[in-house]
Chain A
Amino acid sequence: DAKTTQPTSMDCAEGRAANLPCNHSTISGNEYVYWYRQIHSQGPQYIIHGLKNNETNEMASLIITEDRKSSTLILPHATLRDTAVYYCIVRVDISFNKFYFGSGTKLNVKP
């Protein structure tokens, strides 16, 4: 099973870009990288996902290295509302949509 490694916590100044790293060195060729976040007392919220190419949506950008062993989630202009736990997930079974959440990175956005 592909597992992920993330820093326990990170700080970011409001208005600056937040770059959240994730290592997934055992990822297989057909496994997607997903990012979710969980704001306090809420359920996890989907952010973005990708396979090989970099992806961008209205919330964030996902940069995946060429060897696919790591990725970075970029929040271009962090706000206080982006304070949350961010989970990097590798979907280990493409046919069953099964996620393994780790402990995630607690992002603290500070004024």
Chain B
Amino acid sequence: EAGVVQSPRYKIIEKKQPVAFWCNPISGHNTLYWYRQNLGQGPELLIRYENEEAVDDSQLPKDRFSAERLKGVDSTLKIQPAELGDSAVYLCASSFGLAGAYEQYFGPGTRLTVT
């Protein structure tokens, strides 16, 4: 069974440029998460989807970040415009079920470098 797929794995952009990350969750997983991980720290949740609905986006910087999950399957996270402080690893995770003790499965992440 394929795991969570993310692309690209690495991205280098100049500040003020837009960037997008793509995630395809494990088949059948209806909950999808985007995390940001700064160097030396644990992942921090940006947004969580249940099917196509964003049910928790309280940590998403909405002035420059946006996300979508059309049809409740794959998802895209966008930053426009990027700032130097956005350099981090962006992780996507998915889980089965909408509640309960369900583990999250993570993709390998996209390492973003903003110069």
Contact = CB atoms under 8 A, between A and B. Distances in A.
Interface string A54-96: 0000000000000000000000000000000001000100111
Nearest to A96: B56
Interface residues of A, number: 22
A46 B95 CA distance: 11
Q: Is the interface of B mostly helix, strand, loop or mixed?
A: loop
Interface in B67-115: 91, 93, 95, 98-109
Contacts, number: 55
Given A46-B103, A46-B105, A49-B101, A102 B42 contact: yes
Contact of B101 (A32, A43, A103): A32
Contact of B41 (A46, A49, A103): A103
A98 B48 contact: yes
Contact of B42 (A45, A96, A98, A103): A103
B40 interface: yes
Contacts of A34: 103
Contacts of A96: 48, 55-56, 99
A41 B39 CA distance: 11
Contact of A101 (B44, B48, B101, B109): B44
Interface residues of B, number: 26
Q: Is the interface of A mostly helix, strand, loop or mixed?
A: loop
B31 interface: yes
Given A96-B56, A99-B104, 20 more contacts: A32-B101, A43-B109, A44-B93, A44-B104, A46-B103, A46-B104, A46-B105, A49-B103, A51-B101, A94-B99, A94-B101, A95-B99, A96-B99, A97-B102, A97-B104, A98-B45, A98-B56, A102-B42, A103-B41, A104-B42
5 contacts: A41-B108, A42-B109, A51-B101, A98-B45, A99-B104
